[in-house]
Amino acid sequence: MANRLASEKSPYLLQHKDNPVDWYPWGPEAFARAKAENKPILLSIGYSTCHWCHVMEHESFSVPETAAVMNAHFVCIKLDREERPDVDKLYMTAVQAMTGQGGWPLNAFLTPDLKPFYGGTYFPPDSRYGRPSWTGLLERLAQLWRERRSDIENDAESLTRTVTAYASAEDDSRGRPDDSALETAERNLRASFDAEHAGFGEAPKFPMPANVRLLLRRHARTGRAEAKTMAVETLRAMTRGGLFDQLGGGYARYSTDHAWRIPHFEKMLYDNAQLLENLADAWTASKDPEILRALERTVEYLRRDLRAPGGGFYSAEDADSLPYDEPHGHKAEGAFYLWRKSEIAAVLGDDAEKFCARFGVVDGTNALADPHGEFIGKCVLYEKDPGALEEKAADAMRAKLFAQRAKRPRPSLDDKILSSWNGLAIAGLSRAYGATGSGVCLELAEGAADFVRRELSSPDGKTLWRRWRDGERAIPGMADDYAYMAYGVLALYEASFKPGDLEWARDLAMEAIRRFAAEGGGLYQTAKEDGRELFTRSIENHDGVEPAPSSVLADVCLRLYDITGADELKKYADETLERFGPSLTARPLAMPFLLAAWDRAAHKTATLMIADLDLPGGEELVAVAREKIRPGLVIAAYRRADKAAFSNIYPIAREVADGPRARAYLCVGRACGLPTENAADLRIRLDL
């Protein structure tokens, strides 16, 4: 029989609905039972595309004997980290403090009042990998709870104090970053750059979009070619590797090796959204056709595989799928994507050898390592020798193999729609439109924004919900929902210049400050009225694979301030930079997204107002503004019919006289220079 999770909407929770474990969703019913029965809580956190979550579910949570031990001694709670990142953050911090490492699945053991006392990540069914067996651990912890409960509760109190202090992201010192922080960050990236394979550091290698974003802005600011080279070479290497789906487009989660060849095959919306913005910036800076091609194929992946019928974007695709050649087998990582050389020959015939030479396919396997035996006799496609097959022919062969692959069992789709990740997608698509002029990009960005406005927002757009799935919106929006959506909608305004988008971005930024701002800068993950069961509220102080909401909102507020002049926006950005300033000075790459915001705050900025964009010459003026990355510039354009609405946000526009052609005004603060109708003249002014 299905357990309580059968009535949930989260795809991750639904994956566990048939477990014999007596799972509860996170909520008051589970908390009340733990207190009533004086039982510790087992909180198991993961997400639907997590490979090792699947492994532990199969090895332990599906086994009746193991479930009996869990049910006898613990109140068991399953939680989707993507739905409740605030809960995940606290208990991940606790486990990292105890063990020095983290990851998913995250298994944390709590007292009935939700204070952590032990935890870890994956535990095998029997002792291996230097880890205790899962049932052995459960029985030992249950024994300690019975015999030494007071010691456990004392340890939990101590650990809770440690986590609370860390979660506050408070430091004894405050102040803006040192002027050298930007140079230090670039120097540190240069030192860790892999000159042979690109990217930064050793295996496993993750796409780190905030680092690439910072480098491209450093190039724009300083003109140093090396910053651009590191960024472009990293994007090119990722796209040539197995990390990029050579048939269907889109980037996988990370590379298990140093050469980007063998990926962890899950595909996440937030990765592809941010990498799309990177590609747009890199194309603007380099005009490298390989970068443009990667951008176009990533857009096509989002459109084809992650777009929901209503315009929003789904969250992810799994790494695991059923092997197409073993219909009764178990799901395996990468099964959908791997190829035998003989299979390629059967599809491509005489063309197969050239295709295999280009894409690294060999007899046997091309995997650099295969610890779990998933690559036996199979290859991942990667660009080994682009010169072995010209592009047009390669495209035709890709299409044939893509059609053949479509007959295989697909990886499962996490079809929940998150406000936060859709905000990143809107930003990436809007930047791609600005860089390429592709109407498809703008259509997709506007469709996602319309979906969030319609399904995940209050009528005035000021209140967001976090998750939509199967017709239901749920969970109050968190800091990343508001910050990322403000970031995305502001980028959409700079793509399409509709005043309603600019107004919505401003409102979301203001609401983020009102609901989540901490005293002295930064954003709590949850609003004060939400998450009352948590022992503390946390402030993210790291720009990782997703940027910290505090960082993103600082960038948004600085740009919006130049248009709106709203003091609340400037105050938030200034206080956030002061809160994290000492950390940025000491460890600038801990928050590269925020460091880029500091780059803006530390230099002269300007607003380019283009009046009557729809009149002759308007598109030429916009094209000049977009032809380079301009870190200190905000484009504030309007069409003749939108002048009144735009003037409500940017009052300077009221003083602009109507004319027969579009005009560009370069404004600093509240003062604007003389207008120009000439694109060449505008280019000179912008480049001064």
Tens digit of each residue's pLDDT (9 = 90 or more) over 11-28: 999 999 999 999 999 999
Q: What is the mean pLDDT of residues 360-389?
A: 92
Residues 243/251, Cβ–Cβ less than 8 Å:
yes
**Secondary structure of residue 525 in the 3-state scheme:** coil
Q: What is the pTM of this model?
A: 0.96
* Euclidean distance between CA atoms 174 and 513, whole angstroms: 20
Q: Which of 122, 138, 111 is nearest to 37 (CA)?
A: 111
**Cα angle 155, 156, 162; round to 5:** 95
Q: What is the mean pLDDT of residues 377-385?
A: 96
Residues 252/266, Cβ–Cβ less than 8 Å:
yes
Q: How much of the chain, in percent, has pLDDT values that exceed 90? A: 93
pLDDT computed for residue 418 by the predictor: 98
**Of the listed ranges 203-212, 372-381, 563-572, the one predicted with least confidence:** 372-381
For the cut 80, the answer to whether the pLDDT of residue 169 exceeds it is: no
Q: How much of the chain, in percent, has pLDDT values that exceed 70? A: 100
Q: What is the mean pLDDT of residues 65-87?
A: 97
For the cut 80, the answer to whether the pLDDT of residue 156 exceeds it is: yes
What CATH number is given for 4-167 in this structure? 3.40.30.10
Please list, in sequence order, all residues whose beta carbon lies within 8 angstroms of the beta carbon of residue 325, skipping any fewer than 6 positions away: none
Higher pLDDT, 122 or 688: 122
Residues 675/528, Cβ–Cβ less than 8 Å:
no
Residues 374/366, Cβ–Cβ less than 8 Å:
no
**Secondary structure of residue 271 in the 3-state scheme:** helix
* Euclidean distance between CA atoms 414 and 14, whole angstroms: 11
Torsion of CA 622, 624, 627, 628, to 10 degrees: -110
* Euclidean distance between CA atoms 354 and 391, whole angstroms: 12
What CATH number is given for 204-317+414-601 in this structure? 1.50.10.10
Q: What is the mean pLDDT of residues 317-341?
A: 89
Tokens representing 576? Answer: 């956030």
Q: What is the mean pLDDT of residues 626-641?
A: 96
Q: What is the mean pLDDT of residues 133-142?
A: 96
Sign of CA dihedral 101, 103, 106, 110: positive
Between the alpha carbon of residue 49 and those of residues 252, 271, 289, 382, 436, the distances in Å are 11, 14, 32, 23, 32
Ramachandran region, residue 266 (left: φ > 0; alpha: ψ -120 to 50; beta: rest): beta
Kindly provide the residue ranges of all beta strands, DSSP E only, lying in 590-648, ordered along the sequence. 606-611, 633-637
For the cut 80, the answer to whether the pLDDT of residue 315 exceeds it is: yes
Kindly provide the residue ranges of all beta strands, DSSP E only, lying in 48-105, ordered along the sequence. 75-80
Sign of CA dihedral 46, 48, 54, 58: positive
Residues 19/25, Cβ–Cβ less than 8 Å:
no
**Cα angle 218, 220, 226; round to 5:** 60
Q: What is the mean pLDDT of residues 600-616?
A: 96
pLDDT computed for residue 179 by the predictor: 84
Residue 592: which H helix or E strand, with range?
helix 592-601
pLDDT computed for residue 374 by the predictor: 86
For the cut 90, the answer to whether the pLDDT of residue 369 exceeds it is: no
Q: What is the mean pLDDT of residues 561-565?
A: 95
pLDDT computed for residue 327 by the predictor: 66
Q: What is the mean pLDDT of residues 297-313?
A: 98
What is the average pLDDT value for the chain, to the nearest integer? 95
Between the alpha carbon of residue 262 and those of residues 195, 201, 322, 386, the distances in Å are 19, 16, 19, 18
